[in-house]
Amino acid sequence: MRIVVDLNRCQSYGQCVSAASEVFRFRGKESLEYDHVPDAASDAAVRRAALACPVQAITLATATEEISPTEAAHR
């Protein structure tokens, strides 16, 4: 699972920290820190965190493909 948090939108309610404390944490009183690439064991907790966010600031990856650099761009 990969995630990103829109920290413009984030208002530090801390629901994500409650839902997945191994992925999200507060630094000081209001600064959210998080692991962009949490361990697969945290997937369910991360999904709960995203659902619980009152401002919907957490984006989860849904892509299934890997990025593979290509040589196919020759004109």
Give the residues lining the site for other proteins (CB under 8 A). 2-4, 6-8, 10-13, 27-31, 33, 35-37, 59-65, 67-70, 72-75
Q: State the Cα torsion 13-51-8-30 to the nearest 10°.
A: 20
Q: What is the largest CA-CA distance in the chain?
A: 54
> Shortest gap between Cβ of 39 and other proteins (angstroms)?
10
> Shortest gap between Cβ of 22 and other proteins (angstroms)?
12
> Shortest gap between Cβ of 55 and other proteins (angstroms)?
9
For residues 1 and 19, which CB has a smaller minimum distance to other proteins in the complex?
Answer: 1
